[in-house]
Chain A
Amino acid sequence: MEINSNSFRLMADNAGCGILIIGNDEKIIFANRHVNNAFKYPDVGLEGKPIDLLFPGQVFSPDSLSRIMFINPKGLDGSLEHKMQVDGYAADGSRFPVEIAYSTSVNDESIFICPFTEHNKVCKSEENKTNITKKWLALIGVINKAIISSLSEEALFNEICKVAVEIGRYEVCWVGKPDIETKLYNPVASYNATAQDYELLGKLKIDTNGPTSYVMQTGNHYFSNDFNNEVWSHDLKSYLWGRDFRSYLCLPFKLAGKAVATFNVYASDINTFDAEQVFFLDEISNSISFALDNLENEKNRQIINNKLTETIAFLNHSEAIAHIGSWRISFKTGEAFWSDETCRIYGYEPTPNALSYIDWISAVHPDDVAMVKKIDNEARKTLSRVEKEHRIIRKDGMLRYVRSISFFETNTDNVPIGMYGVIYDITDKKEMDDALSLSEANLRLIMDMVPQCIYVRDYAGRFKFANKNYAALFGLTPEELISLNFIELEAHLVGNYSIVSDSDREVISSGLSKRLELMPFTDKKGKHLIFNVLKTPFNMVGTKEVFVLGILDNITDQVIAETERTRMLEDVVKRNEGLQQFSYIVSHNLRSPVANIIGLINAMKTPGMLSHSRERLMEGLDKSVGKLDMVIKDMNSILQIREGVNEQKQEVVFADLVDTVKISLNTDAVDSINIVTDFSLVNHIFEIKSYIYSVFHNLIANSIKYRQPDIPLTIEISSKNMKDAVKLIFKDNGLGIDLKKNNDELFGLYKRFHNVAEGKGMGLYMVKTQVERMGGSIHVSSEVNAGTEFKIIISTKQL
């Protein structure tokens, strides 16, 4: 290696000692940085200068051509030839002792680097500088380590002070957190400081123009290599002076770029701090600041972390309570975060490990996978909120229903990069919903199956419910009926139905049920129906409003059947009466002439009887046969009435009838008969003429037959209009009938109540039969010896 080569100089400059190479001419061939500095030739260098300049009068062994001199060597005793202590003279004339070792080894290219010794100040400072450089680096390492190991701020400061004093061989280091307002230094850490130092530092006031203020305000370092020249703070200066400190360095420690503490280094030498040291100390300051920031961040992070942990715990707890799980998935990695509850919902043990999309989709019920994927893909196009319900099969094989709500996560380019959302188990709700809708459907089915018509209306008349049967009355479905507004209702409600139902309102207002019987109703098809209706106040579940619940029992068929039955019963009764009458006729009226005939013939057979009473017997036979014939004819005419006649109904004028009857009865022949008629209200009827004639004929004839012998007979005949009927009244002033005694048999066949006139008990029977045949009725009121009144009501209703 050439002495003048750059690499040699670099090596030599970084050696732990001063290196001088002297040529044969006793001139300096090479001096390294340490030598130049020690002898105060830093700028010009010593090359070419005579060695005598540095060590005047000192003779070095001239054994070799060139001598390499190691200044302040140590531990090389065995390898160097010469060792001595000499006085060295610096450029400024100062003199100092130097320990040197030298060797004459011109061609030896070995470089010896030796440790410092502490005897020599120059050597010491030179040696320190090199060592310190290394140690500073180590210190930075320590600091970084401290930062990494997250020491507390106080521990960090104390460590810094200790390390700085030990490495830099300073007297005292301390860290303060000056308060500009109270002007206190607030020492927080120190090393090598005495108790007095500490007490004093706690008392001293900061000089606003002093170094601490400067450092705190500017954030720059401040140092003085001889503070005696400085102008600042009397107190601190006197303190420093009193402690025999000469050099002073103050560095800022910053938090988030702002000075929050000062790092103070005191040394007993002047000129302690060269540029390099200051540079390193600045580095340390920066590192510490960085560490402080980190510490602060760490503290914040810790707080945030704690809060986050707390929040996550709270969230997990909340999720567990609400049975809502949350999840997040990254499209890039396919990894998904599942919250504890999400895991539980899917039947996994809660795990901090990421699960995958595959884990999820494999849990989805196979039949729902396509649907779920479709929903997600659709939503992905618009990045809209996704809401879906589907089935899952849990790890344990249980089938559950879940509902998930999720959102897409996008990057700044609005490209989806993930999804997050919540999920919850809706099985119970689903089952309840299903059960509810099932029971609703069942109820609906039952409602529609029952034969009754059922509806619910509000006070205004709007339908809230109707079953099929009810809606069908209006030719509608229940849904249509309920959806109708008032105007549409008006158009759809048919027959005698009105929007405002007084009875509906009454039930709602009174809160009392109401039963309406035999209500007629005409449905949409025009069919006449009859209902029994029960209306009852009704509170629909979930409302406070009172409605009316109407249940209509369609009894049309029943009523028709009932009517039919009644009619049949009446018919049967009539027929039975008829049969009884016939039985009576047979046992009495028919039997009577037959018995006589038998008796007469028997008498004729009796010896002597015929010759004796021939005339009388023959006459009796003749009369009996005639009577028999009459009864048979009567029976025939009665049967004809009963079976009905083929005669058509026609308009029968009452006045004309009376005239005809008068002629047939030859009433004109009797002076004392007065027939008064009043047909002003109704003068005719549309009926079977022979029946009406028979009624008029028989009643007038009866009146004449049973008139009072001493009083002129008056017959009053009048007519009245009734609802769907005509009433005829026949009133006379004749003998009258004892109704108490004869009421049962008055209209019976062959019933006679008077002996005064010839009668065969046929008239009233015929009248009654004919009136009933016309769908009418006959009533009698009478008083013996005062007169009789017959009222006949004949229906005009068209059946």
Chain B
Amino acid sequence: MTPDFVLIDDDDICNMLTEMMLFNIAPQSSVKLFNNSFDGWDYLASIADKELTNPLIIFLDINMPGLTGWDILDNLKLHGNQINKNCKVYMLTSSIDPKDKEKANNHELVKGFFEKPLINLNLKAFIDLGDQ
């Protein structure tokens, strides 16, 4: 089943690249893109209680002004009762700080951690895995 993607990152260039990559490997998937974390959370909140037809994969940047990636994770934990069952959250960050990676791996909602940029091969392998 083809997953849907939600991308929350304040870095526009990165978003463009990620979108390109996703289209390249899963052209039929829908990609919702937010360069403002508040908007991103608003969307997630709006679907939080809904039964999703497709699996949802969220790419979440960590370092964003106002509402960070960690904040959104906390919100999800509190409010995403339904969405949590069918979604997989991947942290996507330019940070090479090992602490960030460690924190992400220890978070119950986080399935994986990607350093920017997303590379084709990596992503394809990941999507295949995600399919299974």
Which residues of A line the B interface, CB within 8 A? 583-584, 586-588, 591-592, 594-596, 598-600, 602-603, 606, 609, 613, 616, 620, 623-624, 752-755, 759, 761
Contacts and interface: CB of A to CB of B under 8 A. Distances in A.
Contacts of B116: 591-592, 595-596, 599
Contact of B117 (A598, A752, A753, A755): A598
Given A603-B17, A755-B38, A596 B11 contact: yes
Nearest to B67: A755
B118 interface: yes
A753 B10 CA distance: 13
* Interface residues of chain A: helix, strand, loop or mixed (majority): helix
Contact of A596 (B63, B96, B117): B117
Interface in B8-23: 10-11, 13-14, 16-17, 20-21
Contacts of B38: 755
A592 B94 contact: yes
A753 B65 contact: yes
B66 A754 contact: yes
Nearest to B65: A752
Give the size category of B's interface with A.
20 to 34
A567 B43 CA distance: 50
B117 A583 contact: no
A648 B9 CA distance: 45
A170 to B, nearest CB: 157
A602 B18 CA distance: 12
A387 B97 CA distance: 96
A587 B65 CA distance: 17
Given A595-B117, A600-B13, A587 B66 contact: no
Contacts of B118: 599
B52 interface: no
B36 interface: yes
Contacts of B14: 592, 595-596, 599
Nearest to B116: A595
B38 to A, nearest CB: 7
B29 interface: no
B95 interface: yes
9 contacts: A588-B94, A588-B97, A592-B11, A594-B94, A595-B115, A595-B117, A609-B20, A609-B24, A755-B38
A181 to B, nearest CB: 141
Contacts of B37: 755
B47 interface: no
Contacts of B13: 596, 599-600, 620, 623-624
A539 B33 CA distance: 88
Nearest to B38: A755
Nearest to A756: B66
A598 B17 CA distance: 10
A609 B120 CA distance: 12
Contact of A591 (B16, B21, B96): B96
Contacts of A591: 94-96, 116
**A591, A623, A755 — most chain B CB neighbours (10 Å):** A755
A598 B117 CA distance: 7
Interface of B: 10-11, 13-14, 16-17, 20-21, 24, 36-38, 63, 65-66, 94-97, 100, 115-120
Contacts of A583: 97
A587 B115 contact: no
A264 to B, nearest CB: 151
A602 B21 CA distance: 10
Nearest to A583: B97
Contacts of A623: 13
A755 B66 contact: yes
A103 to B, nearest CB: 179
B27 to A, nearest CB: 12
Contacts of B16: 616, 620
5 pairs of A and B residues whose beta carbons are closest in the complex = A599-B117, A752-B65, A595-B116, A592-B94, A620-B13
Given A591-B96, A602-B119, 17 more contacts: A587-B95, A588-B63, A592-B116, A595-B94, A595-B115, A596-B94, A599-B13, A599-B119, A600-B13, A602-B120, A603-B21, A620-B13, A620-B17, A623-B13, A752-B66, A755-B10, A755-B66
Nearest to A598: B117
Contacts of A609: 20, 24
**A583, A586, A600, A754 — most chain B CB neighbours (10 Å):** A600
A750 to B, nearest CB: 8
A544 B116 CA distance: 87
Nearest to B97: A587
B24 A602 contact: no
A753 B65 CA distance: 5
A180 B117 CA distance: 163
Nearest to A616: B16
Contacts of A752: 65-66
Contact of B65 (A594, A616, A755): A755
A592 B65 CA distance: 15
A568 to B, nearest CB: 27
Contacts of B115: 595
B74 to A, nearest CB: 12
Contacts of B94: 588, 591-592, 594-596
A587 B96 CA distance: 5
**B65, B118, B119 — most chain A CB neighbours (10 Å):** B65
A599 B36 CA distance: 21
Contacts of B66: 752-755
Contacts of A587: 95-97, 100
B20 A613 contact: yes
Nearest to B71: A741
Contacts of A592: 11, 14, 94, 116
A584 B98 CA distance: 11
Nearest to A609: B20
Contacts of A598: 117
Contacts of A596: 11, 13-14, 17, 94, 116-117
A479 to B, nearest CB: 69
B22 to A, nearest CB: 12
A761 B63 CA distance: 12
Nearest to A741: B71
Contacts of A594: 94
A694 to B, nearest CB: 22
B65 A599 contact: no
Contacts of A588: 63, 94-95, 97
Nearest to A608: B24
